[in-house]
Each structure stands twice: as C-alpha cells, then as structure tokens.
Amino acid sequence: MIQASYKRYILNFKRPGGTSRGVLHTKETFFIILKNKEQVGVGECGVFRGLSADDMPDYEEKLQWACDNINNGLGVLLTELMAYPSIQFGIEQAFLSLKGSDSFELFPSNFTQSKANIPINGLIWMGDKAFMKKQIKEKLATGFTTIKLKIGAIDFKTELNLLKSIRDEFSTAEIELRVDANGAFSPENALEKLKKLAKYQLHSIEQPIKAGQWEEMSNLCNKTPLAIALDEELIGVFEKEKKQELLAQIKPQFIILKPSFVGGINGSNEWIDIAEQRKIGWWITSALESNIGLNAIAQYTYQLGVSIPQGLGTGGLFTNNIDSPLEVNNGYLQYNTSLKWDISKII
C-alpha cells in the first residue's frame, strides 16, 4: 500500500528573472512524496502561476485528491487529472522514482551513468541592453554555442542592435541564435518584425504572437522568413484530436514541449508522435522547475535520442534548489555521479 503526501516549496531566484510578463523573484512548486515500506518516490508538480493551464483555485485540492487516490493506479490518475498537466507529470515522476533501485534514476541510460550529456541553449533574460549584453558574454565565455534571447520587453530597435552586435562578432557556424517573443508581437506587425529579425540568421523564433490566434499564426508560419516554434500555443490543448487539429491548421516549423505544461511524459510523447507524422521538428524545455523536475525532464529527453540543443539549463537560477548531480558544463547538461542528491529540504 502506497502512502502519498505533498509539500509546497518556494524557490528563490539568485537574481530577479525578467520576462515579458514581468520580473520573477520567486517560483512556487509542489513535491509529491510516495512511500511504500522502505521505498521513497519523489516527483515535482511545477505549476507556473499566471501561465500554466492548471493554475486554478482548486490546485491543492487536486493534489490532495491525487494523494488520497494514489492506489487507484497511474492510468486512472492521469485520466482524471487531464486538466492538471503539472500534477500528471509529478505523479509520473513519483511512480518512476518509487519503482527504481535509485529514487533519482528514472530512465537509466548513459546520461545517468555520466557517460553522455545533453546539448542545451544558454538563456538570456530580459533587461536593459547592458544587462543582456553582459549575460551574452558570460554564456559565450562558458562554452555555449546556442543562445536563446527573450525579446519583446524592451525597444525592438535595441533588440535588433543586440542581435546585430552578436552577428558582427560571431558567424552562424560559431553561434546559433534563438529568440523567444512570448507572444509580444501583434498579428499586424509580426511579419514585418520577422523579416527584420531574419537578417541576423536566427535558428527560430518562439511564439511571435499570442496563443489562440490559429488563423493568424497559420498565415505567419506560411509566409515567415525564419522558422517559427509554437510554445504557449500548446498550453491547455489536452485532447489528441485537438492537438492534431492545431498542427494541421497552423503547420509550424517546430513545437516546444514543456512537460509540466503539456501532461508530462504521456502528453509529450503524444505531441511528438503527431508532430513527427507531419514532419514538424521539436525540442524540450524545462519551465523553472527545481532540480527534481529538471532531472526527470533531462533523463526523459536524453532517452528520446535528441541531437539539437534543448532548453534545460535552469538548475542554477535558485538560491535554495535541491542539491543534485546535475551540472551545466561547456554548453551541455550532465549528470555527475560523484555528486549526491540531498532532499532533506522536502522530506
């Protein structure tokens, strides 16, 4: 008989994180803890307030319901919790954690044995030009060859100048540039802005206009001079038929999967299957989870056989993260088996 409980935990940023939705100082998350005799399983329910589809008043009630009904089995729980993707993912993690000989080796692989690593992009947070330029220099100095910039919060001309300054110094062979607009452009001016951005030979732009405008996004994906990746567009789309309909209509070049937002492992697998049938590319991104969630996402991602840089390097943002073997080194995420987990903060 499995016993289940949950714990709320507030992650504190080392320095405020600037996004198009404001500046983040803290990030709320929840841990599900399963116990079966001597075995312990841990999973993270990484709800993102103001963005997750499951940011609802009854979120903790649903967490408690999941704990109360944990012995009904994973299949029943995932079906009942379809509208709560971060809880689905936390439960998937906790069950995998519980059944393994090592609570943190959810997908045994060369990655978890320190024999392989995962290429990742370096994330540049929004801020003034000087702050963003400083971050770029830091990322380049630490070995990143793919950089992702959040854009849309400061003057567009300033952002273009930033991109120009990078391209003046580094070719596409040296640095791959991705940008994330978080829906900051309007349908009326988006194509014009994409044409200006394309001059700097970008890999892709995430979510140029706000989600929910399928016709406008479809037009953009059809006419765009640079690849468009859907991100927020996938939030709240849970039924398989709706996923198929969305990708059939919009026809993006890429989709970006945040397991905490799209229903964890099962939800991500479904999106990947549909995308690959339509020759749509994809990559996986964390969403400010602690190292518990990041560990699950990284191990899941590695066993998918990815080759392009993923968005997984958020573990070092917090002052009170869970100590883990995860390390970012030279533009790669690695699992250093000489380092140990310490979950005393949550158990």
Tell me the catalytic residues: 150, 258
83: which residues sit within 8 A by CB, 6+ positions away?
A: 53, 54, 238
Compute the C-alpha angle 342/313/99, nearest 5°: 45
Spacing of C-alpha 100 from chain mean position? 25
Phi, psi angles (nearest 5°) of residue 250 = -80, -35
Reference 91, options 57, 102, 80, 286; nearest CA is: 80
Tokens of 345: 């903060």
> How many residues comprise the chain?
347
324 close to 337: Cβ distance less than 8 angstroms = no
Reference 31, options 49, 58, 65, 4; nearest CA is: 4
What is the helix (H) or strand (E) element at residue 49, kind and residue range? none
Reference 224, options 255, 177, 277, 187; nearest CA is: 187
DSSP states of 151-193:
-SSS-HHHHHHHHHHHHHH--TTT-EEEEE-TTBB-TTTHHHH
Instruction: Please give the DSSP secondary-structure letter assigned to residue 51.
Output: T
Task: Beginning with the edge strand found earlier in the chain, give each strand of the sheet holding 3-19 in spatial order.
Answer: 3-19, 22-36, 39-45
188 close to 213: Cβ distance less than 8 angstroms = no
Tokens of 223: 């006419």
